[in-house]
Structure 1
């Protein structure tokens, strides 16, 4: 056991929401189970004092006499890890020497979630925007492609110009290159960008090309970086990762290692949790007005246990006809869509509110918490409480 407060170094930049959420999770663990004395990398390249502080931070790491290290810069922190300081490497593309526990994003699952989301909206044409020379981008594309190809839909991947050419010709050339690519794609098109930051380029290029979002081009990013997503025009839909939960888990793992416990968990996964829908995907790639009317009704009634006969009545067609149209346009049944919409809404309440399980059950007009829990577990494999503990913030 420690006789004094353990010193922990976080070599994690804070320039993205993903990293900031990791830091939140780590600091939350330290508050609850600590205290820890945390020494943190500051990513503040906009100001001279920030750049100088960051340089000094890495130059003087060994002076700290740390008890533990969580790093996204394994090359810069290699001297510490070679000294045997308990270390967790928190970056996918790490080539760090040694058998360290690692934090890794399930990039393939991220791509799969984006593809499934678009398929549920009826899209047949898909595109991926990113640079697959980066491992994380390549893996997200692989997951996206796996689902699209299984559905026998069309898929195009952006081929960026050489970085040297972009440096020579400037940002305008880059955006126009993307605009030309977007113009060549068959519409309506569902586009996954490798991250929210990359999605911003697609929005600007679409504006230049005169392509309407989301009517002609539906766009999704990754990270749910709220300052980026909310300031885009239109606002950007994005995949939310359980980064804060993962930060809490790696802090817990590091704590056990620092205390001399044997651990067998060498990889902690960051998983995609849900798509946060904003304007950039708020549409259906379906031309059949009866299906569109039915889906609008299902979404509007997501709080209530809707019957398929009610949906058919709202669409003013026979149940048999509407079932056939759902199969043709969405490759699913009316009941499938009712369940999917309702389950997604339940997930949203569990993850983004502090409502108790009982309150969520009452809010959604279930007869009781037992029937609510059975319904949710039958459709997700988790009880509501298990799901909230695994992915939620509260």
Structure 2
């Protein structure tokens, strides 16, 4: 039985005009997409009319959810261009619905007339690209879901909390908390807080950070593809994200049967003074390493110091030491000599997701104090890792050909055209040199490309299959599920939710 108590007859000459809940209405039929809209009939005057009569939905050709979303954003006070961009509609369509709202807003009292402006404090430094990209992610969320009034505090590591914080009347805080004094001051406000560091100084609050295991996995795969068999990590003991990246990197290197040589600086000092480390100690460590070796720096600044020491020692980069950083500060990486390869950490997604969590908390929703791990975007390869450290020249030629053409649909028979070897000999020498077959080398690069497309774009699976070198979508999906344990759709949804 349809509940029609909130409808009324719109015939101005009907005795029951405008009266709700008097039992004069019945449903005579349904119409529209999916026949979801009802036609009503007044028993008193025999008039038939749509249930949407007298509302902004009357005459709408869009589905109900889209119309309601557009109307809600208009009533919140958002501009026509913004509503059109968020809803994917032409501005003329939005303008028409805005006029409907202006004429009928009294008939939709459940919609807010103006959204409350939330006061949010940001405690992040802007001295490096990762922090700035995090701020860009926060800004993107605010533009889409605001309005927020931002109080920004340039917060270097180790500084005292600002005096105004104790008396600030705000709604929430986003902070990179890396010292106890700031953490205590923020905790004492009693406000919703989301942390974007991995120090976890407030374990009762949710935290968002780059995934250290995935960073290490990208580093190991990248250096292995260069034919390297010796590995090193240069980091800072006692700094949580450095320790996590180093331990993850060492563990993954051990799993493939190689040793990881760890450099841990012994002088305890603020990480902000990253250019003042003991380069003499790093020089001794680099001299002691077997060559050629691939070194992962805990962050770009650390990797740049390794490059400087190698230059002072006349150690060839990348032929003797291949160097990989983390964070992809493109200005610093491009200015380095040679230019520095680096892992891009998806800091934009860190900021966006942290802002989303804070918005939920400020709305009164229960957000568990979990650590949200954001998958890194990938490796940005530059000169510092541009090598193939393989003694077998023919295998090196084959691997370079695979790296350059893996996503063009090549097969092992195509590789054999550029090396004068039989398939059996190539596979034997290839496995001896790098630990896996030519076919697996092709598949690894194709899978990496598929993951990047799934995570970073909205391309269809058919387009991704073509761009990754697959002639058949079904085969790509089957292979992806076999290698990763997820279908492409599941992988995209899983990593989009993280990011």
Which band: TM-score by shorter chain? 0.7 to 0.9
2:289 paired with 1:185: yes
Return closer, same or farther for 1:217/1:70 CA change in 2, 3 Å cut-off.
same
Task: Report the secondary structure of 2:379's partner residue.
Answer: strand
Provide the rounded CA distance (Å) in 2 between the counterparts of 1:92 and 1:171.
22
> What's the CA shift for 1:309?
1.6
TM-score (norm 2): 0.68
State whether structure 2 residue 259 is matched by structure 1 residue 259: no
Are 2:239 and 1:145 equivalent residues in the alignment? no
Q: Structure 1: 5+ residue runs without aligned partners?
A: 46-53, 165-169
**Contact 2:134-2:347 within 8 A present in 1 as well:** yes
Q: CA deviation at 1:280?
A: 0.8
C-alpha distance in 1 between matches for 2:149 and 2:135: 14
Shift of 1:302: 2.7
1:220 corresponds in structure 2 to 324
CA distance in 1, matches of 2:277, 2:165: 42
Higher relative contact order (CA 8 A, sep 6+): 1
Offset from partner CA, 1:153-182 (integer Å, 9 cap, x none): 233222434358xxxxx9788323322321
Aligned to 1:51: none
Matches within 5 A, 1:271-350: 271-348=375-452
Which runs of 5 or more structure 2 residues have no equivalent in the other structure?
Answer: 1-111
| TM-score, normalised with respect to structure 1 | 0.85
Residue in 2 that maps onto 1:48: none
1:50 aligned residue: none
In the alignment, does 2:143 pair up with 1:31? yes
2:262 aligns to what?
157
Deviates more, 1:357-366 or 1:281-290: 357-366
Task: Report if aligned partners of 2:481, 2:488 keep a CA contact under 8 Å in 1.
Answer: yes
Residue in 2 that maps onto 1:202 = 306
Counterpart-to-counterpart distance in 2, 1:393 and 1:92:
16
Task: Using the TM superposition, give the Cα deviation of residue 64 of structure 1 relative to its aligned residue in structure 2, in angstroms.
Answer: 4.1
Q: Which structure dedicates a bigger proportion of its chain to helix?
A: 1
Q: Which of 99, 115, 118 does residue 204 from structure 2 map onto?
A: 99
Aligned-partner Cα distance in 2 for 1:229–1:140: 20
Contact 2:204 2:369 survives alignment (8 Å): no
Shift of 1:364: 4.7
- Cα distance in 1 for residues equivalent to 2:368 and 2:418: 55
1:85 aligns with 2:177: no
Q: How many residues align?
A: 379
The reply on whether 1:126 has 2:231 as its aligned counterpart is yes
Relative to structure 2, which stretch is displaced further, 114-123 or 368-377?
Answer: 368-377
Q: Could you tell me whether the CA contact under 8 Å between 1:291 and 1:322 is conserved in 2?
A: yes
Given that 1:128 and 1:158 are in contact with CA atoms closer than 8 Å, whether structure 2 keeps it comes out as: yes
